[in-house]
Chain A
Amino acid sequence: MARQLIAEFRARAGEYVEQKRFDLEHVSRRVAELEKEYGVHFDPSSPLPDESLGKAVFEAGFTLAVEAGLYIVDESRVAKFSEEELREALKSARNRIVVGRGRDARKLGYREPGDRVFVFGGLAGTPTPLEFFVESAASYALVLRVDGIDHGSVQTVMGEMVRSGAPSEVLAGLREMESLRSALRMAGRPGMHVLGAESSVGSVGSLGAMSLGLLRRGDAQLLPVLNELKTDYHQLVKAYVGSLRGVLGAALVDPVVGGFARGPAGSAIVSVAEILLAMVAYDASYFLVHPVHIVKKATSTIECMWVESVVGLANRYMRLPLVGDVWPANGGGTREYLYEVAANTLVAVVSGLNLLGPVPENGTQPNGGGVDAMFMAGLADRMVEENVGFNRAWGFAVELYKRYEARIVSPDPGKPFWELYDAKKIAPRKEWLETINETIREIAQYI
């Protein structure tokens, strides 16, 4: 039986729990206990994690996944999975998958710190005007080092704003996918892996794109785990239809650091639990790790980088294809943005994660382009080539953090794609390229 159906039937027969009680007792209270039981602790004055923490976080997350289960919002009931089921699912999970098609196909997998990094480029869900959608997407696809694309969302169709769950949301998903296909053809990479139809937060955009063949075998759709340890039938429906059509599931694990997942230590434990539950309920093929700070939001905060790093260490006991999201607070055109990207990349890569991003201004403005992903990928490759160690990478990340920390709460949005780029030529403007090159030289001396 399909895993999504098992999740539904388990939930229907599962324990009824008021959502608030699930948040406070099943998640928060238990997470606080697990932090103590397994000795998982975050010290802001000394953020470099001990590499041995990976085992503790994995075991605590595994315990939480078994005990708490996955809350199905539509039923207000919990779908539970046994320890044996989770272990069996882990054993049978693919730790390396082929994504994309034809000569554009690439391998995305579990990686040891010295392995090649799979790089996703794109504005990942950022509202992007249709007028510049194709060109901005092509700017990423033209970067040969970018292996897969996860681009912006469409918010206006036929002059009207999109409405959630309505036909306009389906149309937005279709427009997004048609534009992406045009961009990939323009870049000469028609079979490139697409993580798409993100204009629709429910299921209708994905279902529309799959029914019209715009999202197909080799592509993936986003399957968020709702905060915390929750899902709904929209996600299970998408995942189920995707599994029938050969469309991969990319689970989004985005605990709110400071929320019901508690601080960084608890958020790391919750992340592992959510990865395991997304694997068993969605049948997800790969996992995007995206901790969101409750106040500062960006993945480049010291707390979120610690979570990404520790989850990467815990993955040594899961061996799944994990991707670290790089979502800076600042935007393209600013030096702080590049420092954020660099610090986040250093920590994610050395912890064994693949990369997705950078997505400027926390995904709120289309203020970036493909050259940013080239900067991120170049740094990742350099780290792998130079075999940069865990402590050294973290040490430099902490140094970089000092250069942008103050701008996280009052970020500089930078400039939109059409100002950073000559949109007709799909080429970055000289000024932005010079800033990037200067920053590369500045960073290179440390690696």
Chain B
Amino acid sequence: MSEGACSRVFEKVSRAVAELDYAGAEAGVAEALGLGCDVYRLVEEGLRRGMVEVGARFERGEYFLPELVEAGELFNSLMERYVLPRLSTHAGGRRGLVVIGTVRGDIHDIGKNLVALMLRVNGFEVVDLGVDVSPERFVEAVKKYRPDILGMSALLTTTMLEMRNVIDALKSAGLRDKVKVIVGGAPVTEEFAREIGADAYGRDAVDAVEKCIRLLEKHT
């Protein structure tokens, strides 16, 4: 295996992911594995770098949500088919586990999906509970998965109040100090997050990822 050859293939994979070229990315991944390149470097320098470029294009207004969804599917598919089976033998690499969902009464999932995607890209494992999630389901998920962080999203001024109900339900179940809570969504503010007793507020997907990383740093 030549170091230079692997770097060139990683670059090819990264470009293909950024261009949403599934066939090109798949061919590049297969080539890298055939050359015996390091799988972690393939993820970091190939797949993840491509996803970072997708995020940058989104920030610049060149890509929109459909491209993010497509990129997420491409990334997940290549990870599942080629990378994860090989990564399972490696230790470490995961930043933490986040359980995420849109609160009860709210069926908006754009923001929540974006946060989940960005968290995955940044090395978090994410359990996505979907939309219209009751406090009971959030509590159940915290018991079941024992996440480091619980993320809640809401797009409506009335449904955001459910976030307080979830935090109250966590307290009642004796789980509040077992998990960090981050909230976000269009009507949610830093002040509201503080008022309901959340640990952090994510202004957008990028900010949410940074806050999650900081929450884990404080935790450890």
Chain A interface (Cβ within 8 Å of chain B)? 23-24, 28-29, 44, 73, 125-127, 153, 155, 161-165, 169, 172, 199-202, 226-227, 232, 256, 258-263, 266, 292, 294-295, 297, 303, 361-365, 413
Contacts and interface: CB of A to CB of B under 8 A. Distances in A.
Given A155-B157, A202-B105, A227-B110, 7 more contacts: A24-B70, A153-B158, A161-B161, A226-B107, A260-B110, A262-B64, A263-B64
B76 interface: no
Contacts of A413: 189
Nearest to A172: B158
B128 interface: no
Given A259-B64, A262-B66, A164 B158 contact: yes
Contacts of A163: 105, 161-162, 165
A200 to B, nearest CB: 7
A258 B164 contact: no
Interface residues of B, number: 29
B104 A364 contact: no
Contact of A256 (B58, B106, B110): B110
B69 A258 contact: no
A345 to B, nearest CB: 22
Contact of A24 (B66, B104, B162, B204): B66
B62 to A, nearest CB: 9
Nearest to A264: B61
Contact of A162 (B107, B110, B161, B188): B161
Taking chain A's interface residues, is the majority helix, strand, or loop, or is none over half, making it mixed?
loop
Interface of B: 58-59, 61, 64-66, 69-70, 104-108, 110, 156-159, 161-162, 164-165, 186-189, 191-192, 204
Nearest to A292: B186
B110 A259 contact: yes
A407 to B, nearest CB: 14
A175 to B, nearest CB: 13
Nearest to B59: A295
B106 to A, nearest CB: 8
A162 B124 CA distance: 34
22 contacts: A24-B66, A44-B61, A126-B157, A155-B161, A163-B162, A164-B105, A164-B161, A164-B162, A169-B158, A201-B105, A201-B157, A226-B107, A227-B110, A256-B110, A259-B110, A294-B65, A297-B186, A303-B61, A363-B157, A364-B189, A365-B189, A365-B191
A411 to B, nearest CB: 10
Contacts of A232: 107
Nearest to A126: B157
Contacts of B107: 73, 226, 232
A259 B67 CA distance: 9
Contacts of B58: 258
Contacts of B158: 153, 155, 162, 164, 169, 172, 199-201
A295 B157 contact: no
A25 B181 CA distance: 35
